[in-house]
Amino acid sequence: MSWRKSNILNYFAGQDTPPWRAVLLANVPVAAILLAMIPIGRVLEDNLDPYYLRVVMLIGFNIILAVSLQLINGFSGQFSLGHAGFMAVGAYLAGFPALQYSKDFNDPSTTLIFFISLLIAVGLGAAVLWMFFLGMRRTRHVHRSLPGILLMVLLVWIVTDFAVASKYQHPPFWAFWSLLADSLQGLFGSMMNLLGPMAASISAAMPGAVRRPLCFIVLLYGAGCCASAVGFIVGLPALRLRGDYLAIATLGFGEIIRIAIQNSRPLGGALGLTSIPKYTDFTWLYVVVIITIVAIWRIAYSSKGRAIMAVREDEIAASSIGVNTTTFKVMAFTIGAFFAGIAGALFSLHEQSISPYQFGVVKSIEPVVMVTLGGLGSISGAILAAIVLTLLPEVLRDISPQDRMVIYSLLLVVMMILRPQGLLGGRELWPRRRGPLRSPAPACSERAVPV
Amino acid sequence: MQNVTQFIQQLINGLSLGSIYALIAVGYTMVYGVLQLINFAHGDVFMIGAMVGLYAATGGVPPALPWWLHVVIIGGFIATFAVQWFRGRRPAATFQRILPLMAIYVISIPVLFAASFISRRLSLPAWSATIFVMGFTIATCGTLGYLIERLAYRPLRDRPRINSLITAIGISLLLEYGGQNPRVFGPTPQAYPNQVIPLLNGALVNAHGIVILKIDVLVLALTILIMVGLSFVVLKTRTGLGLRAVSYRFDTAALMGVNINSIVSFTFVLGSCLAAVAGILWGVKYTRVDPLMGLMPGFKAFIAAVFGGIGNITGAVLGAVVLGLIEVMVVGYLPGGSQYKDGVAFVILIAILLVKPSGLLGKNVVEKV
């Protein structure tokens, strides 16, 4: 009777195979809460003052960001300061196709094709660069060559922008890169031209009630996947660094992402994207919030989560008992980036206009403050802190944004000196069930499940 | 000929920019060498330096601290006595521990009054004016550096390093956004007036299309001077010996009778003084200061310190000069390069962290269990 410990994640990892019935049963409460969001959303949106509704929505975004950062900063102990970068990736990669291909959310297939073409084009480019780099480094270790690939991808992006920005005769030095970048853009464009109409016809065949939510889900999921791909690419080299170096490197990556977006013509440059169609409402946002919380909770308290926490406690000790530290660090990073990307996507489809300046250093630090205040390693603490820190400036109405940051920073310093473990200090608000609820300890352990 | 002139001009600009970065980077690298702490607030001490320099030169120094700050400070002292009494420490012992803080507070009152008086009638001869502005700014920033270390970092010294890092971010935000308060500096950028420091204005050489400002020469000379001076301090003096001992092995140095607290304070004060100088020079050269100006130069100076090998003073100077040159060249020679000005530094940071994390002149440290 250990089905309560079973979850989908373990199932996919091949660790144990719970009967589907048990999995479904374990997820009934979650499903009930998710369904309950529909009437709650209706009631709130009809009755709540728009101002309060906006605050509630802000709380939702912040909860997603804080909880996903908790997995990186709190559970895996890798101090990341680049969450806004992932959020920016999600926001732009949801806002751009929504603006470009499916302004009325009626075209899920084309949106899907957009993400697939994007991933194929970028993947092909990465493969070319990878081979180029392999030749240079003569190494067979993938992870060693990835930093180089990353740098070259950045280079390609920058050089493409130079080439596009100025009607400039390409100097021979850049020829290879601009050729690659041009061909990638051409590949992407032709895939969209070729597959777009086909996809549009598939979309047209769907019933109307399916198309809009499906398109929204595709947008969210695609943006999340792209953000987590970026998280993977960023994380793999960066996580070789420790402690404060990692913090600085992630900060640098976040800034690079922001500056790259800021200088990219198709993404609107410094002005950003405006008049993005609006879709996110209370129900959608809080459905995602709950999914995020449940997912992070289950990851954190699964056997994978144990490994992640072991890496936090002592990397050398963890690797000596057979935990592949790089894998678990990158796993935490990638999953965190995924949810940050989804938060960004929700944000852009709610705010309707985004600019690179919204995703600066301050935006990265806000969730860090929440996570630290709530207690590193406590999901409920992060939720609590996200709610408190979003409400605080609203309660102190007369306070300007600058003074809000003063309060944040004072909180950080005082908290670190007086109570460095945060509000909840690694514990959860509600007790975590250990083992089955009703049945007593199993008489004979025919299945010894390693915790 | 045109190209050569342009190149030389860019070279001079790059050297000058790199030297300012070097002045900031030395502070980063020394603090890191002693405490293994990235002092995020250092860039903001630089900002405070620029701001205080501006106020000292234009008569904006207030004659006294605002009343609420007096209340906070005196209340803080009383609270400290009360808390320590509650924890069983005699007031005399508490007094001894916080004596430097109380001394700073008491001394600051007449100093501020005098500085306000002088700054308002600054018809001093040029030399005296320069010395006053520089001296007051350096004193302020040195005190600030001491206070930051004493109040924010020292209580956390034996906790995990990540706590100090978070505190450093907090202090940095506090200075940035506290400075944006209209009662402090205000959020809008302010112009350094032409005659802030009379001695430093104008061009030294202006011929053949090449302009060398006095400030460029001064910055470069100052950087070399400070590097020589620091080498002397670190290698030849007793304090320097302690500094090297502390950076080599913290606990062992304490056991050998090195006064850790005074060494760390010395490091912070020295770094903050150099940042103050850099702040004034930055203001004079770029003529625009605002409370967020410390962010980017601070990051870049840190990147320069990492580039040169953090913990190594020569490396920091070298890295800063190279970074300044690269930045100026990118802006000057790549089309649309000015937009990538800030990105370049981060790309360099990541490249150096991935390829050679110990930096150009740093040595590899192997972690032992």
Q: Which two tokens stand for residue B202?
A: 């104008």
Greater pLDDT, A397 or A54: A54
Chain A partners within 8 Å of B185 (Cβ): none
Q: Which residue of A has its CA nearest to B153?
A: A417
Higher-confidence residue of B131 and A426: namely B131
Quick: pLDDT tens for B6-39: 888 888 889 999 999 999 999 988 898 888 888 8
The 10s digit of each residue's pLDDT in A203-252 is 888 887 888 888 889 999 999 999 998 888 888 777 777 777 788 888 88
For A174-310, list the strands marked E by DSSP: none
User: Mean pLDDT throughout B289-311?
Assistant: 87
CATH of domain B2-59+122-355: 1.10.3470
CB neighbours of B55 closer than 8 A, spacing ≥ 6?
Answer: B61, B119
- The arithmetic mean of pLDDT across residues A422-449, rounded, is 54
Give yes or no for residue A304 having a pLDDT over 80. yes
Q: Does A248 touch chain B (CB under 8 A)?
A: yes
A68 and B CB contact within 8 Å: no
Q: What is the pLDDT of residue A447?
A: 43
Pick the more confident residue, B34 or B209.
Answer: B34
Q: pLDDT per residue over B216-234, tens digit each?
A: 888 888 888 888 898 888 8
SS3 A13: coil
Answer yes or no: do B152 and A365 touch at CB < 8 A: no
pLDDT of residue B47: 93
CB B360 within 8 A of CB B308: yes
- For A:96-155, CB contacts with B below 8 A are 147, 151, 154
Q: Which of B147, B150, B177 to mutate to test the interface with A (most CBs of A within 10 A)?
A: B177
**Contact list, A410 vs chain B (CB under 8 Å):** 170, 174
What is the model's pLDDT at position A2? 47
List of residues 6+ apart from B35 with CB closer than 8 A: B153, B157, B164, B264, B267
Higher pLDDT, A407 or B276: B276
Q: In chain B, what residues touch A165 (CB-CB under 8 Å)?
A: 335-336
Sort strands B203-207 and B210-213 into parallel, antiparallel or unpaired: antiparallel
Which residue in B38, B306, B351 is closest to A151 by CB distance? Answer: B351
Q: Tell me what pLDDT residue A27 has.
A: 78
A275 to chain B, any CB pair closer than 8 A? The answer is no
Question: A168 burial class (0-12, 13-18, 19+ CB within 10 angstroms)?
Answer: middle
Which of A241, A249, A403 is nearest residue B181 as measured by Cβ atoms?
A403
Within 8 A of B303 by CB-CB distance, chain A residues are 252
Chain A partners of B76 at a C-beta cutoff of 8 Å? none
Please report which confidence band the pLDDT of residue A19 belongs to, taking 50, 70 and 90 as the band edges.
low
| pLDDT > 50? residue A388 | yes
Return phi, psi of residue B40, to 5°.
Answer: -55, -30
Q: Given pLDDT bands bounded at 50, 70 and 90, which one contains residue A17? A: low
CB contact under 8 A, B346 and A256: yes
Model confidence at A347: pLDDT above 90: yes
Per-residue pLDDT for B175 more than 50?
yes
- Chain B residue with the nearest C-alpha to that of A253: B346
Average pLDDT for A14-22: 60
Q: Say if residue A137's pLDDT is above 80.
A: no
**Residue A134 confidence (pLDDT):** 56
User: What's the mean per-residue pLDDT of chain A?
Assistant: 79
- pLDDT of amino acid B143: 92
Q: What's the average model confidence in pLDDT over B163-184?
A: 86
Distance to chain A for B133, nearest Cα, Å: 28
Cα distance between residue A150 and residue A129, in whole Å: 9
Confidence of residue B215 (pLDDT cuts 50, 70, 90): confident
- Comparison of pLDDT for A367 and B184, the residue scoring more: A367
Residue A168: pLDDT over 50: no
Output phi, psi for B59, to 5 deg. 80, 20
Model confidence at A141: pLDDT above 50: yes
Q: Is residue A81 over pLDDT 60?
A: yes
For the residues A106-124, what does the mean pLDDT come to? Answer: 82
Q: What is the pLDDT of residue A136?
A: 55
Q: B352-362: per-residue pLDDT in tens?
A: 877 777 777 77
The pLDDT of residue B333: 77
Select from A166, A405, A416 the Cβ nearest to the Cβ of B173.
A405
Percent residues over pLDDT 90 in chain B: 19
Given a cut of 50, whether residue A170 has pLDDT beyond it is no
Residues on chain A touching B174 (C-beta within 8 angstroms): 406, 409-410, 413
| Closest by Cα among B142, B128, B131 to B276 | B142
Q: Which comes out higher in pLDDT, residue A149 or B244? A: B244
Q: Where are the beta strands (DSSP E) in A178-243?
A: none
| Cβ-based contacts of B36 with chain A (< 8 Å) | 244
Residue B203 φ then ψ, to 5°: -100, 145
Q: Report pLDDT for A288.
A: 94
Provide the ipTM.
0.81
b (16+ CB within 10 A) / e for B7-17: eebbebbbbbb
Query: pLDDT tier at A438 (50, 70, 90 boundaries)?
Result: very low
Nearest to B47 by CA among B133, B134, B141: B141
**Token digits for B245?**
């001992």
Asked whether the predicted pLDDT for residue A272 surpasses 80, the reply is yes
Residue with tokens 């005699």: B90
Q: What is the pLDDT of residues A322-339, one digit of tens each?
A: 888 888 888 899 999 999
Q: How much is the pLDDT for A65?
A: 95
| B38–A402 C-beta distance less than 8 A | no
Residue from A250, A256, A316 to probe the interface with B (highest B Cβ count within 10 Å): A256
Chain A residues with CB under 8 Å of B334 CB are 162
Instruction: Give residue-wise pLDDT tens across range A20-44.
Output: 666 677 778 888 888 888 888 888 8
Among A59-68, A277-286, B3-12, B326-335, name the most confident range. A59-68
Query: How much is the pLDDT for B157?
Result: 84
- Is residue B139 very low, low, confident or very high in pLDDT (cuts 50, 70, 90)? very high
Q: How far apart are CA A51 and CA B321, in angstroms?
A: 51
